[in-house]
Structure 1
Amino acid sequence: MINAIHLFAGPGGIDRGALAEDVHGQGIEWDTNTVATRRAAGLPTIHADVRKHTPQDFPSATVLTAGPPCQTFTVAGDGSGRQEITLLVEAVKRMGARETVDPRAFADERTSLVLEPLRWVLADLDASCGYTAVALEQVQQVQQVWNAYADVLRGEGYSVATGVLRTEQYGVPQTRRRAVLVARLDGEAALPEPTHRPYRKGVPQHEGDPGLKPWVSMADALPDRGPFTVISNYGTGGDPKARGRRTSAEPAFTVTGKISRLRLIDPDGRELPRLSPAEAGQLQGFPADWPWAGGDIPQQIGNACPPPLAAALIRAATQ
């Protein structure tokens, strides 16, 4: 059995993906609401700040995964992290040289959390033989940081692959782009091969590469809903005139913490009940019976790593 440590573990997306690949792990998560969901799901959890722990606290872990907080990097956030990418890249280089990086150097302390996985990897290398596999995911704006990680990790003997993946190509009923990193000490690292076709507006679900499965629609994920249209202002800067629309025959827009605000209408334009937590979770790739608990469940769902993507990343890192 392979053992893992999941940093910023979230409500269980990474864990569920890992377990699908027979990788069992311990999660560290600081958010009280998210911890409630993890415990309701029976996931091994330490309620703590990852900065308060070190690899030596988890000596049996040979795999490290992480999905650091994204609030300062997303379009919906304040953008401070995006403005400090150059500073983060320089910080990664300094950490590779075993220099200390002060989190107070960043406008928002949360921005510095994207450096924590590297701290763990380097600390484990310095104390023992290092994690055999590493899998990281974040919003696509962080890709430059993962590329800087790759330079450092290659210097430490890792094979590394980075890139931006489209979640619908891994069976998630949602279009979502994620910057990822896969690193291995025991083999050649590569990004996971897509299992599903990419979504392109206007291209029917059954068309495309016959060697890949069709992308998954909202109707596929929520068959009891009947036909509907989602009205969203995601990515429009809140401009009501620029609201996007997708029918249930398409994948969902990127699921965020605002998913509970989305309007749904039937084919005749009549308002429908909004998505329940279970339905929102299904659009993020969770099963319908996932035991969401605590408060701010839409935010928990929006912050989660989609389990099918997690499974693909961990499979690429460990097999």
Structure 2
Amino acid sequence: MQISVIDFFCGCGGTSAGLRKAGMKILAGIDYDGVALKTYQHNFPEASALQRNISDLTCEQLQQEVGEIERPLLFSACAPCQPFSNQNRHKDTSDKRVVLLDEFHRFVEHFQPDFLVLENVPGMQKVDGGPFFRFTDLLDRLDYKYDHGVLDAVDYGVPQSRRRLVLVAARNGEAKLPKKTHGDAEGLIEYATVRDAISHYPELEAGATHHEVPNHQTAQISEVNLERLRHTPEGGDRRDWPEHLLLKCHKKKTGYTDTYGRLSWSLPAKTLTTKCISISNGRFGHPNQNRGLSVREAAALQSFPDDFMFLGTVSQTARQVGNAVPVSFAETLGKQLMISVKEI
């Protein structure tokens, strides 16, 4: 029996792509970002792509848009909750984004899907009485079985370290988080590396676009930053630069060495952000070419397949990639939940 999926806060479609690879049927994606939704629509022509603010969408309108829903049904949700991110040093729980998960309650209560997948930034679960615990209270009231924890996508075959808060739930049967498949311990598969993900792409200069490989496009780099890259070995960073290339702030601080750094071929990438093609925003320098990552390479580090097309400008597509749930990670979560289908 095939599971039907409605993907809330779908973005460009990382979760949907993974769940589709797991064998599920994608019915609809919902997001307020019109540019990301164009990418979604292009890659999921079989699904409805709804550009809506979830706060303004009613359950009846969603039902009308998707029509008859075949069961079992899965709802996935990655509500924007940056105020709880570890990278946000100015946390503001009054930010309107924190209530978006609360808006999701209406749809869960109305449709009572057979399965739920929630993915978000670590930190939400540390706020007593916050949106995460309001959501688990709802699941308790509706008699869902669920499991949650902070997982790292690198432990599931993604060539990138990316720690996320994940919750899986089921109305019937057990919902369990998947066990690690990759790692250094005996019996696990070796971690996927940057080399595994991007070494096959053609060489490219900064600011260039490859006309045969879709989205193999890079950002422009200033001359001084090109010089910095020339002094940065594979896996290196600003600690390898001569004195005259250091920024004033770098001379005062010993930490935060990832900015302007190059990736290592033999290791997984660091966590990609919405600025994942900019060398000044993280360790996003190509291992040996004098440029940042291309959008296509960043997508590969998020485990997107090469036939997944991103629409928009280079900055818009990079943002879509950085915001996405890694495809292989979502696939693993989907396969784990499919074990419960037999219990329905």
Give the TM-score range, shorter chain: 0.7 to 0.9
Residue type of the partner of 2:51? H
Matched, 1:146 2:118: no
Question: Secondary structure at 1:136's aligned position in 2?
Answer: strand
TM-score norm. by structure 1 comes to 0.77
Match of 1:172 among 143, 158, 175: 158
5 Å matches for 1:156-305? Answer: 156-197=142-183, 208-224=184-200, 228-229=234-235, 231=237, 240=250, 241-242=254-255, 243-244=257-258, 246-262=263-279, 264=285, 272-295=290-313, 296-305=316-325
Question: What RMSD over aligned residues (CA atoms) do the two structures have, in Å?
Answer: 2.6
**Residue 224 and residue 109 in structure 1: after superposition, are their counterparts in 2 closer, same or farther (change >3 A)?**
same
Q: Return the index of the structure with the highest Cα Rg.
A: 2
1:273: Cα distance to partner?
A: 2.3
Residue type of the partner of 1:316? Q
1:187: Cα distance to partner?
A: 0.4
Q: In 1, are the aligned partners of 2:102 and 2:134 still within 8 Å (CA)? A: no
Q: Which residue of the partner structure matches residue 242 of structure 2?
A: none
Q: In 1, are the aligned partners of 2:105 and 2:138 still within 8 Å (CA)? A: no
Matched, 1:114 2:70: no
Q: Which residue of the partner structure matches residue 54 of structure 2?
A: 50
Q: Which residue of the partner structure matches residue 36 of structure 2?
A: 34
Question: Secondary structure at 2:161's aligned position in 1?
Answer: coil
Q: In 1, are the aligned partners of 2:12 and 2:37 still within 8 Å (CA)? A: yes
1:121-158 C-alpha deviation (Å, 9 max, x unpaired): 1232xxxxx21100000011122443442243123211
Q: Which residue of the partner structure matches residue 94 of structure 1?
A: none
Q: How far apart, in 2, do the equivalents of 1:115 and 1:281 lie? A: 30
Match of 2:69 among 57, 60, 65: 60
Q: How far apart, in 2, do the equivalents of 1:239 and 1:259 lie? A: 22
Residue type of the partner of 2:82? Q
1:239: Cα distance to partner?
A: 6.0
Q: Which residue of the partner structure matches residue 88 of structure 1?
A: none
Matched, 1:70 2:81: yes
Q: How far apart, in 1, do the equivalents of 2:331 and 2:169 lie? A: 15
Tell me whether 57-66 or 223-232 shows the greater mean CA deviation. Answer: 223-232
Q: How far apart, in 2, do the equivalents of 1:51 and 1:301 lie? A: 25
Q: How far apart, in 1, do the equivalents of 2:276 and 2:236 lie? A: 10
Q: Structure 2 stretches of 5 or more lacking a match?
A: 204-232, 239-247, 340-344
**Residue 22 and residue 230 in structure 1: after superposition, are their counterparts in 2 closer, same or farther (change >3 A)?**
farther
Q: Which residue of the partner structure matches residue 12 of structure 2?
A: 11
5 Å matches for 1:73-152? Answer: 73-77=84-88, 79-81=90-92, 84=93, 106=94, 108-124=95-111, 130-144=112-126, 145-152=131-138
Question: Secondary structure at 1:72's aligned position in 2?
Answer: helix
TM-score norm. by structure 2 comes to 0.72
Q: In 2, are the aligned partners of 1:17 and 1:308 still within 8 Å (CA)? A: yes
